[in-house]
Amino acid sequence: MSTSALYNDQGGAEAAVEAGQESTPTSSGTGAAFGLFSTDFKKNEDLKEMLESNKESLKLEAMKRIVGLIAKGKNSSELFPAVVKNVASKNIELKKLVYVYLVRYAEEQQDLALLSISTFQRALKDPNQFIRASALRVLSSIRVPIIVPIMMLAIKEAAADLSPYVRKTSAHAIQKLYSLDPDQKEQLIEVIEKLLKDKSTLVAGSVVMAFEEVCPDRIDLIHKNYRKLCNLLVDVEEWGQVVIISMLTRYARTQFTSPWTEGATFDENNEKTFYDSDSEEKKEQTEAKPYIMDPDHRLLLRNTKPLLQSRNTAVVMSVAQLYWHLAPKHEVNIVTKSLVRLLRSHREVQFIVLQNIATMSIQRKGMFEPFMKSFYVRSTDATHIKTLKLEILTNLANEANISTILREFQTYVKSQDKAFAAATIQAIGRCATNISEVTDTCLNGLVLLLSNRDETVVAESVVVIKKLLQTQPTQHSEIIKHMAKLFDNITVPMARASILWLMGEYCERVPKIAPDVLRKMAKTFTAEEDIVKLQIVNLAAKLYLTNSKQTKLLTQYILNLGKYDQNYDIRDRTRFIRQLIVPNEKSGALNKYARRILLAPKPAPVLESAFKDRDRFQLGTLSHSINSKATGYQELSDWPAVAPDQSVRNVEVIEPVRNPSSSHTPYHSFTSYLSNCQFYHQNETSSDSESEEESSEESEKTSTDSGKSSSGSENSSSESESEQKKKKKTKKAPQKKSKPTHHLSSLMVAVQVILTNSSDHSLEEIHIGERSPAGLNIHCFNTIERLEPEASVTVSMGIDFSDSTQAANFQLCTKENQFSVSIQPAVGELLMPSTMTEQDFTKEQGKLLGMNETSATITMATANTSSQAISKQVLSVANVGVVSSSQNNFHRFAGRTVSSGALVLVSLELKESSSALLTINTEKSVMASMLLRDLKQALTQA
C-alpha cells in the first residue's frame, strides 16, 4: 500500500466517522437511521483492517480513533477481537490505549477478555515496577468474575512487592476485587491488614481507602497503626490525607473520651450560648473532675493542624471537621480562618464550605462572628451562594451586631434578584424573633416594605409580618390597621389571604375595621383568587361569632356566594362553615363549640434555620451537603463514656527494611535515664511484642547518683540541695528505643523517647535545646506543649551519629528547666540490615580483606551452638540481616552503617568442640573491633 493511498484511505474513513457522529448522512437520502448504520458498519470494517495490519503506526491511528469513539459514548464493542490481539504490543502508547479499550468492554465480552489475561500475568513479573503496576491495574479493572482467583493471587503478591508504587496499586486493586466479588472479603481483609503496616507514605492513603470500602467496621485493625498514621499524615499525598483524616475522626470518636466538659454536649451548649455563655464556664469550674486528654488524641490534633495550611480545599475542610468533632471547644476556633480563606476559591468550593459554616454557626456563633463581613453578599454571587451567606448572617446576628446586619439586609431587599430579596425578608423575620430588642424595628421596616412596588417583596413581607404578629399579637393592632389600609393596593393573592387571616384572627383587636374589610370583600368576592376566597369565608365566620350584630347579613351573603362558587373546595368549605356557625335544628352539639374551634389560640410558627438539624451528619460529608443519608455513610459514634483500653495502640513494630530471609526481626531497645545514659539491651525474639520497661523510682535515684556516666552530664558534678530538689520534682524517665533508620533521613538513627513526668506538676514546652558536638545533626521532635503529671508521651527523633559511638549530647528543655541528655549508641545500633545472597556476600568479603578484616577465635557457650541461638545472639547485639547459608557450620550476617552506608559483614565459622572463628569485614576498623568485642561477649556468655 503506498503512502498516498493510505492517506486517502484515512481521509475517507475520517469523513465517514464525521458523518456518523453528526448522524446526518449526506451520501444517501434513504433516511437517517439506515445511513447512520451503514457508515457505522463501514467505519468499523476499516478500523478492523487497520488493526490487523502489521504497521505499528496504522494500529496506533486506529486505536486513537477507537478511543475517540469511546469518549463520545459510541459503541465499538464489535472490534474487541481485533483490539485484544494488540494487548502484548511493544509500543507503549498502543498498549495503553488497548488497556483503555479492554477495561471499557471486558465486562461485555468476558470470554474474549480472557485471551488477554496471560499477557498481564507475564507483565506482573516484569522487572520494571511501572509495568508491574500497570498490569495489575488493568487486570484488576477487568470486571470478569472468572478471574477472581487470579486477581486475588496477583493482589497478594503485589502487596508484598518491593516497590511501594506496586503496593499502592494493590491497595487500589483490593477495592476493585471487593466490588466484583464481595465473598473475598475475609482474604482481602488479611491483605489490608498487611498493607496497613506498610510504612510508605505512598501506600498509606490508598490502603486506608480500601479499608474504608471493604471493612470500615474493623476498627481493631487500626489500633496498631494509629500512631504511625498520625505521624506519617503530613507526608502523605493530599488525596490520601483526606481519606485518612476522615477515618481517624471516626476512630477517635470510638476510642477517646469526650474532651467537651461534662454537660456541655452540643445541644445544650447551643441553648446556652444563646443566652449566656458564662454559665458554662462556671459549671466547668465547679465540676472538679479534670479531664486529661489521651496523648494519642492530642497527637492526632497536633499532627493535623499544619494541614490547615494545605492548598487542597478538601484537606482543609477535613481537618476543620476533625477539629469540630474531636477538639476541645476552645480549640475549634483555629479552623475559622482557614475556612474563611476557602471562600476565595471556586464557586462550588464556596458552596460546600458555606453549607458547613452555616451548620457550625448555628452552634457556635462566636467562631465566625469576627469574620461577619466575609459573608456579605455581592450582586455577582450565584443565587445559592447568596442564600447561604444570608443564612449565615442570620445565624450570626446578636444584640451587638444586629443593627449592622439589618443595615446590610436593607441593601439586599432592594436587590434585583427578587428570589433573593424574598429570602432576605424571611431572614429579617428570623432576626426579629430571635432578638427581642429589634422586633419592633424589624416590624416597622417590614411594614414599610408593604408599599414596595414589587409584588413578591410585598407578599413575602405580609407573610413574615403575619408570622411575627402571631408570636406576639398583643400590642400590634396598629400594624394590623396599617395593613388593612394597604389592603386595596396589594394584589398578590398570598399576601391578601394572609392579611385576611390576620383580620379574622385578631378581629377583636380591630373591632371597627374588620367588619369594614369584610364588607369590601363581599363586593369583590367573585373576582378573588381561591385562597383569598377561602380566607374571606374564614373571616366571615370568625366575625359572625364575635360580632354577629354587624356582620350577620354580610356573612350570609358571602356564604351564599361561596355556595355557588366554581371551585369545589370553596363550596365545601362554605357548607362546612355554615353548618358550624349558623344554628339550626340539625347542627347539634358542634355548634356550641364553634367559637372554640374557630378561635382557638394557635401556636406561633417557629422561624428557624434550615440548617438546624444538619448537625446529625458529619461535617464535610456528602450526606451533610444533601441533608439526607447518602449510600455508604458511616455514622459518627458518640464518645464512649469510658475510654477503651489505651494500650492497644502501644505497638511500635520495628522491622529492618526488608529482610525476607531472616526468620525473625532483630529488635533493639535501649533505655536511658535523664542524667545518665546507659543502654540496656534487650533481646526480643518476636517483633510484635512491646518492650516497656517500667521505670521504678529506685532505679532513677541510683542513676542520678552513679558516676558511671561517661558523658559527663550536668549532675555528676556537685549539685546544690535546691537543684536536687527541683530535679526530683521534675523527674522524667525517658526510654529510648532505636529503629534502624529515621524516616526523614536515611542517615539518622531513629530514637524513640518515652518521656514520663513523675513529678507532681505538669511540664510545659518540652523541646530540644543546645546540642554538642555543635555540628550534631538532630531531627527534633515537635515541642510538647504540656505533659501532665504521671502522663507519658512517646516522641521520635533522629540522630546522625556519623558512624561513631561518640555520645550525642543535647539539652532537653522544659519551660523552666534544662536537663542535659546524653545518648551513647551501642555500636550495633549504628547499622542497618542489608539483604544479599551468599554469592554476593563472599564477593564483597573478598574485597574487604587485609586491613579491613578483624577476626578472633572464640569459645562458644554451649547453649549458643544451634544456628537459631546464634542468630538470636548476633541480632541482639547488632542490627544486621541474616544471609542464608548453604553450609551448616557457616553463619553470615550483613549490614551497612547508617550514615556512610559502608558494608559490615559478619561471619561465624563453627569449629569442633564449640570453638568458632568470628570474622568481621568492614572499612570501619574501629567499629569492627568494637563490634567484635560485643559479639564475642554475647556468644561466649551462656
| 333 near another protein (CB under 8 A) | no
Distance CA 128, CA 879 (A): 30
Reported in sequence order, the residue ranges of 451-512 that DSSP labels E, i.e. its strands, are none
Q: Which amino acid is at 818?
A: Q
CA distances from 332 to 274, 335, 612 (A): 18, 6, 20
Residues 440, 461: Cα–Cα separation, whole Å: 14
Question: By three-state DSSP, how is residue 754 classified?
Answer: strand
Whole-angstrom distance, CA of residue 288 vs CA of residue 284: 8
Instruction: List 917's β-bridge partners, or say none.
Output: 857, 909
State yes or no: residue 349 binds another protein (CB under 8 A). Answer: yes
Smallest gap from residue 115 Cβ to another protein (A): 21
Identify which range of 134-142, 433-441, 600-608, 733-741 contacts another protein by CB under 8 A. Answer: 134-142
Q: Does 416 engage in binding with another protein (CB under 8 A)?
A: yes
DSSP assignments along 818-831, one per residue:
EEEEEE---GGGGE
Long-range contacts (CB closer than 8 Å, 24 or more residues apart) made by 553-558:
554/515, 554/518, 554/519, 554/522, 555/518, 555/581, 557/522, 558/518, 558/521, 558/522, 558/525
| Cβ neighbours of 908 (radius 10 Å) | 24
Minimum CB–partner distance for residue 722 and another protein (Å): 33
- Answer yes or no whether residue 366 interacts with another protein by CB under 8 A: no
How far apart are CB 349 and another protein at their closest, in Å? 6
Q: Which stretch binds another protein (CB under 8 A): 12-20, 449-457, 750-758, 883-891?
A: 449-457
Per-residue x/- marks for another protein, 573-612, CB under 8 A?
----------------------------------------
Among 110, 129, 333, 716, binds another protein (CB under 8 A): 129
| Contact characters 49-68, another protein, x per CB under 8 A | -------xx--x---x--xx
Which of 170, 318, 363, 574 contacts another protein by CB under 8 A? Answer: 318
Q: For another protein, which stretch binds (CB under 8 A), given 219-227, 230-238, 686-694, 819-827?
A: 230-238
Q: Look up residue 267 and give its three cell numbers.
A: 445541644
Q: Which of residues 239-268 bind another protein (CB under 8 A)?
A: 239, 242, 246
Q: Is residue 70 involved in binding another protein (CB under 8 A)?
A: yes
Q: Which of 88, 221, 234, 776 binds another protein (CB under 8 A)?
A: 234
- Select from 448-456, 568-576, 688-696, 701-709 the region that touches another protein (CB under 8 A): 448-456
Q: Which of 357, 360, 366, 418 is nearest to 388 (CA)?
A: 357
Cell 572463628 belongs to: 917
Residue 179 in the binding site for another protein (CB under 8 A):
yes
For residue 692 the three cell numbers come to 516497656
CA distances from 460 to 402, 470, 916 (A): 21, 15, 98
Q: Stretches 152-160, 351-359, 706-714, 880-888: which one binds another protein (CB under 8 A)? A: 351-359
Residue with cell 417557629: 606
Please, which of residues 626-655 interact with another protein by CB under 8 A? 626, 628, 630-634
Candidates 114-122, 288-296, 369-377, 674-682: pick the segment binding another protein (CB under 8 A): 369-377
Is residue 671 near another protein by the rule CB under 8 A? Answer: no
Stretch near another protein under the rule CB under 8 A, chosen from 26-34, 373-381, 715-723, 888-896: 373-381
Residue nearer to another protein on the CB measure, 620 or 828: 620
Q: How many CB atoms lie within 10 A of CB 590?
A: 11
Q: Which residues contact 917 (CB under 8 A, 6 or more apart)?
A: 855, 856, 857, 858, 908, 909, 911
- Piece in contact with another protein (CB under 8 A), picked from 168-176, 440-448, 489-497, 891-899: 168-176
At closest approach, how far in Å is the CB of 205 from another protein?
A: 8
DSSP class of 200: -
Site string for another protein, 92-121 (x = CB under 8 A): xxx-xx-xx---x--x--------------
Residue 10 to residue 8: CA distance in whole angstroms: 5
Taken in order 213, 217, 218, 219, is the CA torsion positive or negative?
positive
CA distance linking residue 851 with residue 928, whole number of Å: 11
**Alpha helix (H) ranges present in 142-237?**
148-159, 164-180, 185-196, 201-214, 220-223, 226-232
Query: Which is closer to another protein, CB of 143 or CB of 481?
Result: 143
Residue choice 27, 128, 277, 475 for contact with another protein (CB under 8 A): 128
List Cβ neighbours of 100 (8 Å cut-off, separation of 6 or more). 67, 70
Name residue, grid cell 545472597. Answer: 837
Whichever of 351 and 557 has its CB closer to another protein, that residue is 351
Q: Considering the rule CB under 8 A, would residue 473 count as an interface residue with another protein?
A: no
Q: Is 338 in the site for another protein (CB under 8 A)?
A: yes
- Binding segment toward another protein, per CB under 8 A, in 26-34, 36-44, 371-379, 911-919: 371-379
Separation CA 660–CA 162 (nearest Å): 11
**In this complex, which beta carbon is closest to another protein, that of residue 380 or of residue 584?**
380
CB of 369 to another protein, least distance (A): 13
Which three three-digit cell numbers place residue 606? 417557629
Q: Which stretch binds another protein (CB under 8 A): 23-31, 171-179, 714-722, 800-808?
A: 171-179
Phi then psi for residue 637, to 5 deg, are -75, 165
Give CA separation, 193 vs 205, 210, 652, in Å. Answer: 14, 10, 16
Which residues have a Cβ under 8 Å from the Cβ of 569 and sit 6 or more positions away? 530, 534
Classify the phi-psi angles of 279: left when phi > 0, otherwise alpha if psi is within -120 to 50, otherwise beta: alpha
Residue 517 found at the interface with another protein (CB under 8 A): no
The smaller minimum CB distance to another protein, of residues 623 and 845, is found at 623
Find the binder of another protein among 10, 273, 374, 867 (CB under 8 A).
374
Q: Give whichever of 416 and 888 is closer to another protein, judged by the CB atom.
A: 416
Establish if 352 lies at the interface with another protein (CB under 8 A).
yes
We find the least distance from the C-beta atom of residue 36 to another protein, in angstroms, to be: 17
| Residues 380 to 409 in contact with another protein, rule: CB under 8 A | 380, 382-384, 408
Rounded to a whole number of angstroms, the minimum distance from the CB of residue 558 to another protein is: 34
- Residue 404 Cβ vs another protein, minimum distance, rounded to whole Å: 9
181 binding another protein? (CB under 8 A)? no
Q: Give the amino acid at 461.
A: S
- Distance from C-alpha of 17 to C-alpha of 47, rounded to nearest angstrom: 11
Residue 753: closest CA among 793, 800, 799: 793
CB nearer another protein, residue 89 or residue 713: 89
Site for another protein in 704-763 (CB under 8 A): none
- Shortest reach from residue 777's CB to another protein, in Å: 15
Count the residues of the shown chain that bind another protein, applying the rule CB under 8 A: 99
Report the residue from 330, 378, 512, 523 that binds another protein according to the rule CB under 8 A.
378
- Interface residue with another protein among 10, 231, 270, 312 (CB under 8 A) is 312
- d(CA 864, CA 939) in angstroms, rounded, equals 7
417, burial (CB in 10 Å: exposed 0-12, middle 13-18, buried 19+): middle
When binding is defined by CB under 8 A, the residue of 76, 89, 109, 206 that contacts another protein is 206
Nearer of residues 636 and 830 to another protein, judged by Cβ = 636
**For residues 317 and 930, which CB has a smaller minimum distance to another protein in the complex?**
317
Interface with another protein by CB under 8 A: which range of 87-95, 220-228, 699-707, 896-904? Answer: 87-95
From the list 829, 823, 843, 941, the residue with the least C-alpha distance to 892 is: 843
Contact 542, 598 (CB under 8 A): yes
Q: Is 414 in the site for another protein (CB under 8 A)?
A: yes
Is there a contact between 133 and 115 (Cβ–Cβ < 8 Å)? no
Q: What DSSP state is assigned to residue 779? A: E
Contact flag: residue 879 with another protein (CB under 8 A): no
